[in-house]
């Protein structure tokens, strides 16, 4: 019987029932790590100033093909640097109001398709920036 891998949940908190650190399933934990990387601006963490992706700096950029390309490069590089032994990124798609009718002006969304290295399962994570 295979064991189910558990990791710390993010944000770090105490589980009310067990009074221990809250746990998350492995796939959920990796998704939480991706969100942390994408939503953290380099320089934001004092103990690790290079950590993050810097997507928030693009929120006020003009919605254009250049924004999509820049965001795709930033996401791919950041995930390759910080999660190299955890995931293999298959595809990064950046959606803007011009490419997706579901988004309002000023919003963009990043979809990351990846494979969990430990389990060889395909996953998709979506992060919206407004």
> What integer pLDDT is reported at residue 1 of this predicted model?
44
27 SS3 class: helix
Q: pTM for the whole thing?
A: 0.83
> What integer pLDDT is reported at residue 80 of this predicted model?
95
Give the ranges where the chain is alpha helix by DSSP (H). Answer: 26-39, 65-82
Task: List the chain pLDDT tens, one digit each, 130 residues.
Answer: 455 677 777 777 888 888 888 888 888 889 999 999 999 999 998 999 999 998 888 877 777 788 888 889 999 999 999 999 999 999 999 888 777 778 777 788 899 999 999 889 999 999 988 7
> What integer pLDDT is reported at residue 111 of this predicted model?
95
Domains in the chain, CATH or no CATH each: 6-129 (3.10.450.40)
Q: What is the dihedral of CA 39, 42, 43, 47, to 10 degrees?
A: 80
Helix (H) or strand (E) holding 87: strand 87-95
C-beta atoms surrounding 117 within 10 Å = 14
> What integer pLDDT is reported at residue 3 of this predicted model?
55
User: How far from chain centre, in Å, is Cα 28?
Assistant: 11
């Amino acid at each position: 019987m295979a064991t189910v891998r558990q990791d710390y949940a993010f944000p770090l908190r105490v589980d009310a029932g067990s009074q221990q650190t809250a746990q998350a399933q492995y796939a959920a934990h990796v998704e939480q790590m991706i969100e942390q990387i994408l939503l953290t601006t380099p320089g934001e963490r004092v103990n690790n100033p290079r950590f993050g992706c810097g997507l928030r700096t693009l929120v006020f950029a003009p919605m254009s093909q250049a924004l999509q390309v820049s965001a795709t490069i930033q996401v791919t590089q950041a995930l390759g640097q910080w999660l190299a032994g955890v995931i293999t990124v298959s595809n990064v798609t950046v959606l803007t109001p011009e490419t997706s009718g579901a988004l309002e002006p000023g919003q963009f969304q990043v979809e990351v398709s990846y494979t969990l290295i430990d389990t060889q399962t395909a996953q998709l994570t979506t992060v919206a920036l407004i």
